[in-house]
Amino acid sequence: MKKILLISNRVMHYRVSVYNYFVERFRNQDYTFMVRANELQKESPYPIRFDFKELPFSFSVYRDEIKKIGPDTVILFLHLKNLLIFPLIYWLKWKRIPVIFWTKGANLDDPHNRLRNMLFHHLHNLSDGIILYSKNERSFVKNKNHKKITYANNTINYYDYANITETKEEIKKQLNIRFRKVALFVGRMDAAERGRKKVAHAIEIFKTIDSPDYGLILVGSGLGEELRRSMNQKNTIYLGEVHDPKNIQISRIFTMADVFLMPGHVGLSLNQAFYWSLPVLTEEGEQPPEIHYLVNGQNGYIVKEDDVVSLKEKLLYLFENEQECKRLGENAKYDLLENASIEGMFQGFLDNIKKLTIVP
């Protein structure tokens, strides 16, 4: 069997689930899939079913590991700030080991930074293959390298989600949530996120909502003390991080909600919301590739950046129009399965690897 080695920075829990799916699908294609990274998110609820090692970022450490494994292809999933990427890709080219760069094509938080883009283009030139999150990042890759591209639409492994049979009301009762309609925010809110998910906007909206029927549930790490103190205690509940071995609790929370409200950087939370048939409300601005799954008026709404007034109007509209909320939610689930399936993501990897490992 041919060997595929993915070298990554911190492996988040949702990636563990994705790689568990990948390892089985690669095995069916006569490939062995392995991952080496400098860190694994410790709170991961998923067992690791692929060959994995934590190794500190050091060129000599990864060079020696690659020599020991003897991979047929190496996939680099690293940021520019992971300086290991430069000596490693030079060495891989010298050793004539095919290398694939899995990337957004640019830093989407600063897409017009000339120096960064020069470095990205240099990596694109050196790579034998390029895996992009979606077709929307193609413009960040120069025309001469377009032939190297395949698309692995970034998504989640929803096959690992629990089957929830309880009703919304049953879940609310068990969680002691009294609201008739619930907006849900799920994501990291710590300093590393630099406030880009804009949880402050969600909190601000509910400070101006008087109805006891409408509530906001916040889930995730890192909500600062200042924001906690500013919350409307009558209609906003912070649950902190939610982890359990089979993702039952977080699945119950998504099932209980009516709308997913994330004013900023939606990321894969959008995919998760779509899977649970929740319309998504967000703002324009520096959004990640997943934002392209959101079609305004079809599976959610996107308002102008920092327009909290319009965001509140859309939220109240969905709270007060159940049929429209249901329509958007049903479209969201359909669009996820159609445009962001885990199998589609895998095929984007497989297509690129086959181009490099199968002799015509």
* CATH number (domain holding residue 267): 3.40.50.2000
Residues 236 and 302 in one domain: yes
Count other C-beta atoms under 10 Å from residue 229's C-beta.
Answer: 8
Q: Give pLDDT tens digits along the chain (360 positions).
A: 999 999 999 999 899 999 999 999 999 999 999 999 999 988 777 899 999 999 999 999 999 999 999 999 999 999 999 999 999 999 999 999 999 999 999 999 888 999 999 999 999 999 999 999 999 999 999 999 999 999 999 999 999 998 999 999 999 999 999 999 999 999 988 766 678 999 999 999 999 999 999 999 999 988 999 999 999 999 999 999 887 767 899 999 999 999 999 999 999 999 999 999 999 999 999 899 999 999 999 999 999 999 999 999 999 999 999 999 999 999 999 999 999 999 999 999 999 999 998 755
Entry pTM: 0.93
Rounded-to-integer distance, Cα 349 and Cα 253, Å: 32
Q: In the chain, how many domains are there?
A: 2
Residues 59 and 120 in one domain: yes
Q: What is the pLDDT of residues 212-261, one digit of tens each?
A: 999 999 999 889 999 999 999 999 999 998 877 678 999 999 999 999 99
Q: Which domain holds residue 79?
A: 2-155+341-357
Residues 169 and 310 in one domain: yes
Residues 332 and 252 in one domain: yes
Residues 140 and 36 in one domain: yes
Residues 99 and 182 in one domain: no
* 234: nearest Cα among 277, 203, 193: 203
Residues 329 and 347 in one domain: no
Residues 184 and 121 in one domain: no
**Phi, psi dihedrals of residue 194, rounded to the nearest 5°:** 55, 30
Residues 102 and 221 in one domain: no
Residues 128 and 235 in one domain: no
Helices then strands, each counted (H, E), the chain: 12, 13
Residues 168 and 308 in one domain: yes
Rounded-to-integer distance, Cα 71 and Cα 358, Å: 14
- Cβ-defined contacts of 84-91 (< 8 Å, 24+): 84/57, 84/58, 84/59, 85/123, 87/59, 88/7, 88/59, 88/62, 88/63, 89/123, 89/126, 89/127, 90/126, 91/59, 91/63
Residues 144 and 167 in one domain: no
